[in-house]
Chain A
Amino acid sequence: MYSRAYKLAVALPPIAWVILFMLLPYGLLFLYSFWTVTPSQQIVHQWNLRNYSELLRVPVYLEVLLRSMRIAGIVTLLSLLLGYPLAYFVSFHAGARKELLYQLVIIPLWVSYLARAYAWKTILGSDGVFNMLLQYLHITNHPQGFLLYSPFAVVLTLTHIYTPFTFLPIYAAMEHIPRPLVEASHDLGATPLQTFWRVIVPLSIPGLIAGATFSFVLSLGDFLAPLLVGGPSGIMISNIVVSLFGAAYNWPLGAAISACMMVLVIALLFATERLEKKWSFA
């Protein structure tokens, strides 16, 4: 077989990559979260848990975290509501147009994130397409400001951006359902609806969990959409981290929030991984 030296040579680049670009920065971040920043804005290596107690003491952090989770939860729900039926249709009923439809769902992923977020700005803005439509239809006679710079705009933008990520694992799971199972179900007297609930849904649950995890974790950590379309009421936890590392110059506190987020996300990934395994049959 392969020699030890060969195996080591092959394994070294990825190991080095992970150490250099993941473990090291995360470790540093973790260290920072236990340090302090002085009033003269100097980071001193004074070990303490003050950053973490600050998170619990100042209500805004928890508030924004809860809002972020709420937004991520709504985005997840909406992207499942859009992505699941879409995946079902493309996988089972698209016929000859299957490849085309699949590509159409994927294409937005090739467009820059910024372009997609900005697109919503032009749609939802006070002189945007949506407001023009409302006025044209005489539903209102002046531009509505509530559309842009609100949690609503953030949810809309994030749902648009992350629905393909939800779609993909669901679609992959459905493509893996052997078609004879669907025929067997019909053969045994199950209507298309019964077949959907009794065969297709249970067998696509791993994809559903993976898709939900994608959209939840990605939206929870998102900072660009709230920055561009969120306004003051739509800021999310990552915006606070960005400002703490930037303008506010409080790296230790920013690091503490990041560390908490990381623990949260890792715990979530573990939980969903277990759930996925539980629903996998093969």
Chain B
Amino acid sequence: MNQPSIATTLSPNPNTVSKTLLSIRGVAKQFGKKAVLRDVTLDCAEGEFLSVLGESGSGKTTLLRLIAGFEACSAGEILMSGERLDVLPPYKRSVNTVFQNYALFPHLSVFDNVAYGLRVRGTPADEVKSRVDDALAMVKMSAYAQASPAKISGGQQQRVALARALVNRPKLLLLDEPLSALDANLRRQMQLELKTLQRELGIAFLFVTHDQEEAMTMSDRIALLRAGELEQVAAPQEIYRRPATAYVAQFIGQTNLMRANVNAGIAECGGLRWPTTELDGPATFSVRPECIVKAAAGSLSADGSVRFRAQIVNQVFQGATELWQIECASGDRLLVKTSAKSDTSEMEFAFSAEDAVRVRD
């Protein structure tokens, strides 16, 4: 009988199957002579949670402001469901924003804040009432409907800002570091709530943050911006396990960068050698601290495993794990994340060759 075709046997990749909602094409932004964004091309699928991650000054907030319409692109175009978005004034775009400091209207009650978007569009009063009530219930703020924004806490203001944006049923919600003003515990709680809410509503979120942990926790994909240019766009696991560049490897989590020399399929760095498929010449590899393990005494070196002796020069207690700084015979220092005990100051360590990921500089 016929063999099933490859296409039907493979499970569909959600990122290629779902429709593109937002399409940023070759967008650049300059303030005077200063280029803040350079040739950014990025798609966001319907219902996707996309994080734009970067240091301060990387241009991430500017990118969000271009999508919201508070700034105009210097070059390139932005499309929404295939139609030009960047030519519309902000009040005609079907996106809504949760601002960094919430930007709630101080002269309006919580209810009137949430009702604002519906009222300016001339929604009938009874519909306004029911939709605002629903939105407030969704963020568990119904009890505060008549409160003034100044009288509620930061976390509550955050929820109101979210309800105010979502009540308009945007296709895309833009969030500008919405959790940065909250304390650590509340922030973690809100991260989970936001993620749950996003899944339930099926609205695409474009989430701007400088916090890589936050981006890892919440996103379907992360777009990492560096000095106005996209460094890598990938799912959290992918970006962590297969960082494209040395910058990404260092920005997302901790890593050991090894500047090695490849010769005939063998990479060599400070006395350590491992097999690689990279071409001859200098190459940088990233090895995550948790990929380096304490080797069991007397065990034989398995295939592709790199064994070496090193001194522990520093130990930092981190709860479930410890972070060690070790020094190899060559004098190179490496980070090791382990739950093992350190019985002696000099020990045998190992990492698997496939955990040494080639990265661009």
B265 within 8 A of A: no
State which of B69, B105, B120, B164 has its C-beta within 8 Å of the C-beta of A181.
Answer: B105
A282 at the B interface (CB under 8 A) = yes
Cβ B120 vs Cβ A188 within 8 A? yes
Q: Does A129 contact B (CB under 8 A)?
A: no
A186, A202, A282 pick with most chain B CB within 10 angstroms: A186
Interface size class of B (residues with CB under 8 A): 20 to 34
Q: Judge whether A180 and B105 touch: CB under 8 Å.
A: no
Question: What residue of chain B has the Cβ atom nearest to residue A190's Cβ?
Answer: B120
**Distance A91 CA – B95 CA, assembled complex (angstroms):** 27
Residues B107 and A202 in contact, CB atoms below 8 Å apart: yes
CA distance in complex: A282, B151 (Å): 10
Contact call B107/A186, Cβ cutoff below 8 A: no
Q: Which residues from chain A contact B99 at a C-beta distance below 8 Å? A: 180, 183-184
B89 close to chain A: CB less than 8 A: yes
Where chain A touches its partner, the secondary structure class is: helix
B120 x A198 contact (CB < 8 A): yes
CB distance from B300 to the nearest CB of A (A): 63
Q: State how many angstroms separate the Cβ of B99 from the closest Cβ of chain A.
A: 5
Question: A279 to B116, alpha carbons, bound, how many Å?
Answer: 19
A185 interface residue per 8 A CB criterion = yes
Q: Are B90 and A180 in contact (CB under 8 A)?
A: no
Contacts of A186 in B (CB 8 A): 69-70, 89-91
Return the CB mask of B85-113 against A: 1 if under 8 Å, else 0: 00001111001110111011111000000
Is there a chain A Cβ closer than 8 Å to B68's Cβ?
A: yes
Asked if B107 contacts A194 (CB within 8 A), the reply is: no
B150 CB within 8 Å of chain A: yes
Say if the beta carbon of B121 comes within 8 Å of chain A: yes
Would A181 and B150 count as touching, CB distance under 8 A? no
B51 within 8 A of A: no
CB distance from B132 to the nearest CB of A (A): 13
Cβ-based interface call for B219 (8 A): no
The answer to whether the Cβ of A13 comes within 8 Å of any Cβ in the partner chain is no
A66 in contact (CB, < 8 A): no
B96's contact among A187, A203, A281, by CB below 8 Å, is which? Answer: A187
With A183-B68, A189-B91, A189-B120 known, 14 other A-B pairs at CB within 8 A are: A180-B99, A180-B100, A183-B90, A184-B103, A184-B104, A184-B105, A185-B105, A186-B89, A187-B95, A188-B117, A190-B116, A191-B120, A279-B107, A281-B106
25 residue pairs A–B, Cβ–Cβ below 8 Å: A181-B105, A183-B68, A183-B97, A183-B99, A183-B103, A184-B99, A185-B120, A186-B70, A187-B68, A187-B95, A187-B96, A187-B97, A187-B165, A188-B117, A188-B120, A188-B165, A189-B120, A190-B91, A190-B117, A191-B91, A191-B120, A198-B116, A198-B120, A281-B106, A281-B148
List 4 A-B pairs, minimum CB-CB distance, nearest first: A188-B117, A281-B106, A180-B103, A184-B103
